[in-house]
Structure 1
Amino acid sequence: MTRSSLSPSRYMSEAKSSGGRRTRGTPGNPEDRAGEEIEYASQKALRDTWVSRTRIFLAPYFAEFIGTGVFVLIGCGCNLTYTVLTTNAESAWMATSFGWGFGLMTGVFVAGGVSGAMLNPAVALSFAGYRGLPWIHVPFYFLAEFAGAFVAALLAYACFAHSLDPFDGYNRQISGPFGSAGAFGNFARPFIGNGAAFLSEAVGAALLVLGIFAITDTNNFPARSATPIAIGFLLTGLSLSIGYPTGGSFNPARDLGPRCAAAIWYGADVFTFHGSYTWVPVAGPLAGGILGATVYEALIVSRRAVVEDNESIASSEHRSISLE
């Protein structure tokens, strides 16, 4: 088959006898074909420019940056709303849990088709270890997620700065009845030690990653197009169930990025408060994420995988019997 027979111009030529209507099967004008080939070459050259290649290369990292930013902006906005507008912020825990869940859902919708929407260093590390995410992406995903969370916290503060002024009398405080730093970086409750807080964060992150692995496993019972919704409600459920003692971060970038932003207004004490608590919401989720991924991959065998394995064994046995 010749190249001209495959050309779209074959079906786009116009016959004078048909009054200018397009007819199929009429050979196109050679000049038209030449013009189309020139236009195609120019478009290909445009796609092959350095700017275009760079944009394609950076697309996953920008997706992680924006997706994490959307997630954190919605979550921090909910925290600040119920910190400033309620007399008892503790009673708003259910509302903020749903806010963070909706934020994660929106972030996954934004970035899922481009980067996979890790939006969490613990998830990215787990997917690199067990789901084929190239390791070369991992440090850049970490940086993009941290940067997205940091910028989102700055935007959240900018939106609420004038609301915070009458709340605390222009005196930014970390804790106490007028403390608001917890709307950015998480802090364990005063009666929770760092060891217990580490365990809580690790268990929460393990359940989060285990749930995400199950939701996205095509050999199990995948949520498919409802994946962002399922993951959002997964985070909400974890926050409502075991997140209260520590604030339910389960995400190093979600905590460290806003904490660094909060240090601009609350000072360096945000890193040393509560027995230098900063390491807990970073190390806990990373350890828990690997644990959750390992448990799923080692112990959860989907029904479809079992059926396929049994069919493979039966087929091999049938071949051996036939040979005998």
Structure 2
Amino acid sequence: MSKEISIEVSSDAKNFLVEADTERLGDIRIFGALELRYKLRRYFAEFFGMMILVIFGDGIIATVTLDDFGQIGFIMIAFGWCFGLAMALYISMGVSGGHLNPAVTIAMALFKKMPMSHVPGYLISQFFGAFAGAAIVYGNFSAKFDSFDGGVRQTTGKYATAGIFATYPDPENTVVGCFFTEMLLTGLMLFILGGIFDKHLTPARGFEPLAVGFMLFVLIISTGAMTGSPMNPFRDLAPRIFTSIAGWGSAPFTAYNYHFWIPIVAPTIGAILGIGLYEFFIIPNVRP
């Protein structure tokens, strides 16, 4: 019969352990303020991971849109987001878990897979990471924007460029259809992520970022033409706000019958449903 052994550690001992960890960390990372940087490490990882994701993702959309790659452009965009997400996960997954998505963070917290106290920091970091990524893409392609649209930023029409940063639906799709598609895709994403990272099953150990990236590729090419497949509230909202500030005006929020709220609400609901369904139905071969 096993017994649980509890060992109390004095505050002096805890301080010693923190100092020892900081000293060891100093052998790995340079610069000062190590204790502060260590406390904020999760949020730094989410910020830079999200920034890299948007730089790669929006950057490939800008390349395809401004240089007119034709029919092959959609596949290029899907691959761009696929490998962009993989690269972002390589720098963030081992530190913050690589959420890079507020819908993931909220769902994880609701199912007690992370402390609720970490949620505000994660969300703030993700939002500003996506905003910074959009600003960098815009700055990098600014000359191409002017030659493409003559300096008149447009959200709809032949010379529309707002879709480089945020997602807009197929005009033939309905509000209900858009909402369902986004909820479905994000639910599928979280359901599949459960399998990829479940240590009780056969996870893609060592290959998680690539597995997640290719999962995103399949989700995008399967229904991306319907809504643009954001599956990530801040990947859509933060760049959308940036475009509104940078010259597109209010159109990014009013276009397509005020579509902007769907990529915020639907993925969040979908993420909660996805994790919930995985937790309920996928049972490992371990007796409770």
> Is the CA contact 1:200–1:243 (under 8 Å) kept in the aligned structure 2?
no
Deviations 1:13-49 (A, max 9, x none): xxxxxxxxxxxxxxxxxxxxxxxxxxx99x85997xx
Q: Relative CO higher for 1 or 2, CA cutoff 8 Å, sep ≥ 6?
A: 2
Deviations 1:171-195 (A, max 9, x none): 1111111101001010111111222
> Is the CA contact 1:130–1:297 (under 8 Å) kept in the aligned structure 2?
no
- Aligned pairs (5 A) from 1:246-257: 246-257=227-238
Partner of 1:286: 268
CA drift of 1:53 comes to 2.2
CA drift of 1:91 comes to 4.6
CA distance in 2 between partners of 1:268 and 1:232 (Å): 33
CA drift of 1:87 comes to 6.1
Deviations 1:128-168 (A, max 9, x none): 23352111111211111111000000000011110111111
Segments of 5+ residues of structure 1 without an aligned counterpart are: 1-39, 310-324
**% of aligned pairs identical?**
35
Deviations 1:75-115 (A, max 9, x none): 00000000011164x65111101111111111100101110
Normalised TM-score (structure 1): 0.77
**In structure 2, do the counterparts of structure 1 residues 170 and 294 end up closer, same or farther at CA, with 3 Å as the change threshold?**
same
> Is the CA contact 1:185–1:256 (under 8 Å) kept in the aligned structure 2?
yes
- Aligned pairs (5 A) from 1:1-324: 51-86=33-68, 88=70, 91-130=72-111, 132-264=113-245, 265-302=247-284, 304-305=285-286, 308-309=287-288
Equivalent residue letter for 1:244: A
CA distance in 2 between partners of 1:235 and 1:78 (Å): 15
CA distance in 2 between partners of 1:222 and 1:111 (Å): 18
CA distance in 1 between partners of 2:72 and 2:25 (Å): 56
CA drift of 1:126 comes to 2.0
Normalised TM-score (structure 2): 0.87
- Alignment RMSD (CA, Å): 2.0
Deviations 1:258-294 (A, max 9, x none): 1111112211221111111111000010000000001
> Is the CA contact 1:252–1:283 (under 8 Å) kept in the aligned structure 2?
yes
Segments of 5+ residues of structure 2 without an aligned counterpart are: 1-18, 27-31
CA distance in 2 between partners of 1:180 and 1:102 (Å): 23
